[in-house]
Amino acid sequence: MQQEWLQQINSAQDLKVLDELRVQLLGKNGLITQQLKALGTLAPEERKTKGAQINALKDLFTSSIDEKKISLEQQALKLRLTNEKIDITLPPRPEMVGKFHPISKVIADITKYFSQIGFQVFDGPHIETQELNFDALNIPAHHPARQSHDTFYIEGSDEVLRTHTSPMEIRTLRKHKPPIRFLSPGRTFRSDYDATHTPMFHQMEGVVIEEGINFGHLKGTIIDFCRWFFEDPNLKLRFRPSFFPFTEPSAEVDIGWGNGKWLEVLGCGMMHPTVLANCGIDSTKYQGFAFGMGMERFAMLKYGINDIRAFYEGDTRWLDMHGFGSIT
Ligand code: DAH
């Protein structure tokens, strides 16, 4: 019997079979366990010899099962190691990684630049009252400047989709008093669609109101900024006299494009006293300047993108080419 059991233990094919054998021999009702229990019914002499024999068998079976168990476990591990091999020489699958849109990049870069010279950032709503989009900015109801904005009006309401970020000048200055420097980037809307216009686009408003601010501060700020942005310390700039109802004097800024061409990049001027008064600011004490720039225009010039419509077609192949892995 001993040989038979040992034979069975040794030929067990897996851990489950081996454990069944352990239960049959050494379990609660196992063969050996029963024999050990039966010892009590024997005469003392017989109990001694039989007991020794059975305990020796118990030790033999226990160690055989343990040994077999270790060898089966090693076998199983070996099998897993050969079957579950990973080929680390395989090239990685191309990952789907997102890119930051060039407009996000331009807004982040410009915001970072101006925040280093003391500008705060204020975000504003896309829907504005005509009061804030026009009137408070000194653009009265029948002024031609209002017509030139191709405004999206909201039916049955006094509100419009903001045509520029300039209403943020009013919102901010009614809440926060000078001295103050701030930026307000965001979406703007006009009913227009061609290679250089989309109905939704982005502007960045900039405002500085402090005592003794003059046109020289405006020029210096804009010139330094444009030379930094376009990474050209010798970039040519031209301040062209212009008109905006909310600034006086006003200018449009062109940058020289090597080939003798000038390209307009922003509008600016000294804050109109009426606009300051509309925000409850005493223009005899505080002066300031403001500028408004088109983010798409800046991105197109810097990154050589020539059709604005591509920005908003949502083509991920285009974004793969023109997007950025990081914008900080
Ligand atoms: N809001 C003007 C526009 O959309 C741009 C502009 C011009 C903003 C002059 C300004 C400014 O702050 O001073 O055409």
DSSP characters for 51-95?
Answer: HHHHHHHHHHHHHHHHHHHHHHHHHHHHHHHHHT---TTSPPPPP
Query: Given a cut of 80, is residue 266 above it in pLDDT?
Result: yes
pLDDT for 258: 76
pLDDT confidence bin for 6, thresholds 50/70/90: very high
Query: Helix 44-83 to helix 31-38 angle, to the nearest 10 degrees?
Result: 160
CB of 166 shorter than 6 A to ligand 1: yes
Residue nearest to atom 13 of ligand 1 (CA): 268
pLDDT in tens, 200-230: 999 999 999 999 999 999 999 999 999 999 9
pLDDT for 113: 98
Query: Given a cut of 90, is residue 90 above it in pLDDT?
Result: no
pLDDT for 327: 86
Q: What are the residue boundaries of the structural domains of the chain, listed by start?
A: 2-83, 102-322
Averaged pLDDT, 160-188 = 98
pLDDT for 3: 92
Task: Give Cα separations from 206 to 128, 144, 151, 174, 295 (angstroms).
Answer: 19, 24, 22, 16, 13
What is the percentage of the chain residues whose pLDDT exceeds 70? 100
Averaged pLDDT, 58-67 = 94
Alpha carbon of 13 to ligand 1 centroid (Å): 85
pLDDT confidence bin for 87, thresholds 50/70/90: confident
Alpha carbon of 33 to ligand 1 centroid (Å): 97
Q: What is the Cα gyration radius of the chain?
A: 41
What is the best residue among 128, 137, 164, 250 to mutate for testing ligand 1's pocket, by most ligand atoms within 8 Å of CB?
164
Give me the residue label for tokens 């930026």: 183
Alpha carbon of 250 to ligand 1 centroid (Å): 9
What is the percentage of the chain residues whose pLDDT exceeds 90? 79
Residue nearest to atom 8 of ligand 1 (CA): 292
pLDDT for 40: 87
Average pLDDT of the chain to the nearest whole number: 94
CB 294 within 8 A of CB 201: yes
pLDDT for 149: 81
Q: Which residues contact 63 (CB under 8 A, 6 or more apart)?
A: none
What is the best residue among 209, 246, 254 to mutate for testing ligand 1's pocket, by most ligand atoms within 8 Å of CB?
246
pLDDT for 21: 93
Alpha carbon of 205 to ligand 1 centroid (Å): 7
CB of 290 shorter than 6 A to ligand 1: yes
In 148-281, beta strands by DSSP E: 159-161, 180-189, 200-210, 237-244, 247-256, 262-271
Q: What is the three-class DSSP state of 40? A: helix
CB of 182 shorter than 6 A to ligand 1: no
Which of 53-67, 144-158, 240-254 is least confident?
144-158
Averaged pLDDT, 16-25 = 92
Please tell me the class of the 102-322 domain. alpha beta
pLDDT for 94: 77
Averaged pLDDT, 122-146 = 94
Alpha carbon of 245 to ligand 1 centroid (Å): 9
Which of 28-37, 70-79, 139-148 is least confident?
139-148
